[in-house]
C-alpha cells in the first residue's frame, strides 16, 4: 500500500505505472506520453525546489543585513523591510504549491503537474523575482545569495517557456507561441542585466566604500574628507587613527623649540615628526602649556615627552592638530610639569586683531565659541592618552518613517537614525542622534 493512501485499494502494477506516468508527465487529456516526460518532470521539480530554497536563503541574507548595520547596503535594506517580508511570503507560497503537487500528482495520480508548475511560476517565483530585484539593487555587489536566487528564477522561467513551447507546440496557436518566445528572450536578457549590474555594483555611486568582511561601518568626516571604519557596539568605542599628512620631505625633523604653530600653522591634520635627543635638559624658548591637550605655541617635542609619545632619547611621533579647550590645565607627567593658561590668554603670536575689537585665529581655523561666548583656540595632542584618544562609537540605530523630518525618500539610508558618540580632532559628541547620510549628499 502507498503511504499517501493507506486505506485505498492497491492498483494493478500496470495501471499504477500508467497513472504515475500521466500524473508526472505531460500526458492526459488526449496528449501522448513520452518516455522522457517523467525524468524531465523530475528535473524541473528538483530545480524548482532548489530555486525555492534559494528564495529562503535570500531572505535570511537580506534580513541579516539589517541585524548587522555595518555598511550603506545594510542601511538601505533596513529601510526597506517590505522587500524582505514580500520575499518570505511568496517563497512560502512556493512551498505550499509543492505540497499540493505531491498530494495531487503523487497521491491522487491527477495529471496536474503542468498546471501546478505554471501556478508556482506565477504566484511564487515571479513575485520572488521582483523582490530579489529590489534587494540586489539596494545591495549592489554585497548580495550574492539574492543574486543567485534571482538568476535561478529567471533561468527557470526562460527554460520553462522554451519547454512549454516545444512540448505543446501542436496545441498552441501562433499568438501563444510568440508570447512564449518573447518571454523566454526577455527573461534571459533580464538575467544578463542582473549579472552585469552585480559585477559593476553601485557602492561607488553613493561614494561609500564597501567593507568586504561586513564587520565595520564606513563613517565619513566631511571636515577632513576622510573615511573611518567603526563597529556597532553598546560596550566600547572603535578607536581610530587619522592618517598623517606629510609634505614631500617626509616626516618633519624638529628642534626642541619648534612649536606646532611655527611648523604646521593652524592645521587640524596629523603630522609625523622626529624629535631630537635630550630636550629635557635643554633650555627652550618655547613653553609647554597644557595637559594632554597643548596650546599651538607649545614645544612639540616637550609636549611629546610630557604625553609619553617619546622619551628623552627622542624619536618619531604623530602630532594631531585639533580644536582646543577654553582652559589648558597644568599637570606633572614624565619628569616635568607643564603650565596652564586660560582661554582668554592666548598670546599674540597666533592671534590677529580684527575691526570691532574681536579676535580670531588667523588662516582658515574654524571659529569655536565656549558656552560663555569666548573664543576657543586650536591646539594639538598625541593619540596616546585615554582622555585624548580619538574614537567613534556607534551605539545603536532605529529606522524612521519615510516621511520623518530630514528623511530623503530617494535616499533610503537617511531613514536610519543612529545614536553615536565621537571624539575626533577636538570634536566631541555624546549620545548624539544623527541620520545616516544627509539629504542631497552622499552618506
CB 300 within 8 A of CB 251: no
Collapsed DSSP state (helix, strand, coil) of residue 341: strand
Which H or E run contains 382? strand 378-382
C-alpha distance from residue 249 to each of 93, 270, 299 (Å): 67, 15, 21
Scan for cell 612639540, then name that residue: 300
Per-residue pLDDT of the chain (443 residues; tens, 9 = 90+): 433 333 343 444 444 444 444 444 544 444 444 545 678 888 888 999 999 999 999 998 888 765 556 666 676 777 778 888 999 999 999 999 988 988 887 788 787 878 888 888 889 998 999 998 888 887 766 678 888 999 999 999 889 888 888 888 777 788 888 888 888 888 888 888 888 877 775 444 344 455 554 567 778 777 777 778 788 888 899 898 888 887 666 789 999 999 998 998 888 889 999 999 998 888 777 889 999 999 999 999 999 999 999 999 999 999 999 988 878 899 999 888 899 987 544 433 333 223 333 332 233 344 555 455 555 578 999 988 888 899 999 998 888 888 888 887 777 777 888 899 999 988 888 999 888 775 444 43
Mutual angle of helices 144-167 and 37-68, in 10-degree steps: 160
CB 425 within 8 A of CB 224: yes
| pTM of the entire predicted model | 0.54
Q: Pairing between strand 341-342 and 327-328? A: antiparallel
What is the largest distance, in Å, between two alpha-carbon atoms of the chain? 112
**SS3 helix, strand, coil % of the chain, rounded to 5?**
40, 20, 35
Spatial neighbors of 438 by CB under 8 A, at least 6 apart, are 414
Amino acid at each position: 500500500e502507498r503511504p499517501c493512501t493507506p486505506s485505498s485499494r492497491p492498483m494493478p502494477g500496470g495501471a499504477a505505472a500508467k497513472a504515475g506516468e500521466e500524473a508526472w508527465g505531460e500526458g492526459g487529456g488526449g496528449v501522448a506520453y513520452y518516455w522522457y516526460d517523467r525524468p524531465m518532470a523530475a528535473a524541473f521539480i528538483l530545480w524548482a525546489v532548489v530555486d525555492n530554497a534559494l528564495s529562503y536563503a535570500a531572505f535570511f541574507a537580506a534580513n541579516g543585513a539589517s541585524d548587522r548595520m555595518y555598511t550603506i547596503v545594510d542601511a538601505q535594506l533596513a529601510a526597506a523591510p517590505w522587500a524582505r517580508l514580500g520575499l518570505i511570503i511568496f517563497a512560502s507560497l512556493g512551498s505550499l504549491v509543492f505540497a499540493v503537487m505531491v498530494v495531487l500528482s503523487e497521491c491522487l495520480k491527477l495529471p496536474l503537474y503542468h498546471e501546478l508548475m505554471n501556478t508556482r511560476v506565477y504566484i511564487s517565483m515571479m513575485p520572488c523575482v521582483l523582490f530579489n530585484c529590489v534587494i540586489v539593487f539596494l545591495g549592489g555587489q554585497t548580495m550574492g545569495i539574492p543574486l543567485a536566487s534571482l538568476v535561478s528564477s529567471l533561468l527557470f522561467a526562460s527554460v520553462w517557456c522554451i519547454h512549454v513551447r516545444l512540448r505543446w507546440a501542436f496545441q498552441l496557436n501562433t499568438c501563444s507561441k510568440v508570447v512564449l518566445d518573447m518571454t523566454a528572450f526577455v527573461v534571459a536578457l533580464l538575467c544578463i542585466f542582473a549579472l552585469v549590474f552585480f559585477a559593476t555594483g553601485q557602492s561607488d555611486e553613493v561614494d561609500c566604500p564597501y567593507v568586504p568582511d561586513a564587520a565595520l561601518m564606513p563613517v565619513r568626516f566631511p571636515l577632513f574628507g576622510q573615511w573611518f571604519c567603526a563597529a556597532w557596539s553598546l560596550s566600547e568605542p572603535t578607536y581610530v587613527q587619522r592618517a598623517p599628512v606629510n609634505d614631500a620631505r617626509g616626516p618633519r625633523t624638529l628642534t626642541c623649540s619648534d612649536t606646532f604653530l611655527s611648523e604646521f600653522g593652524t592645521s587640524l591634520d596629523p603630522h609625523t615628526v622626529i624629535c631630537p635627543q635630550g630636550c629635557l635638559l635643554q633650555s627652550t624658548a618655547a613653553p609647554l602649556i597644557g595637559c594632554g591637550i597643548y596650546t599651538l605655541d607649545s614645544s612639540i617635542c616637550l609636549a611629546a615627552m610630557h604625553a609619553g609619545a617619546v622619551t628623552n632619547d627622542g624619536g618619531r611621533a604623530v602630532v594631531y592638530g585639533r580644536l582646543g579647550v577654553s582652559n589648558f590645565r597644568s599637570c606633572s607627567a614624565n619628569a616635568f610639569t607643564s603650565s596652564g593658561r586660560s582661554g582668554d590668554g592666548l598670546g599674540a603670536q597666533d592671534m590677529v586683531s580684527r575691526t570691532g575689537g574681536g579676535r580670531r585665529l588667523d588662516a582658515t581655523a574654524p571659529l569655536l565659541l565656549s558656552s560663555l561666548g569666548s573664543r576657543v583656540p586650536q591646539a594639538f595632542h598625541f593619540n596616546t592618552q585615554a582622555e585624548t584618544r580619538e574614537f567613534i562609537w556607534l551605539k545603536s540605530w532605529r529606522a524612521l518613517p519615510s516621511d520623518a523630518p530630514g528623511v530623503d525618500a530617494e535616499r533610503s539610508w537617511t531613514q536610519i537614525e543612529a545614536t553615536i558618540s565621537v571624539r575626533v580632532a577636538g570634536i566631541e559628541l555624546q549620545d548624539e542622534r544623527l541620520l545616516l547620510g544627509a539629504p542631497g549628499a552622499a552618506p
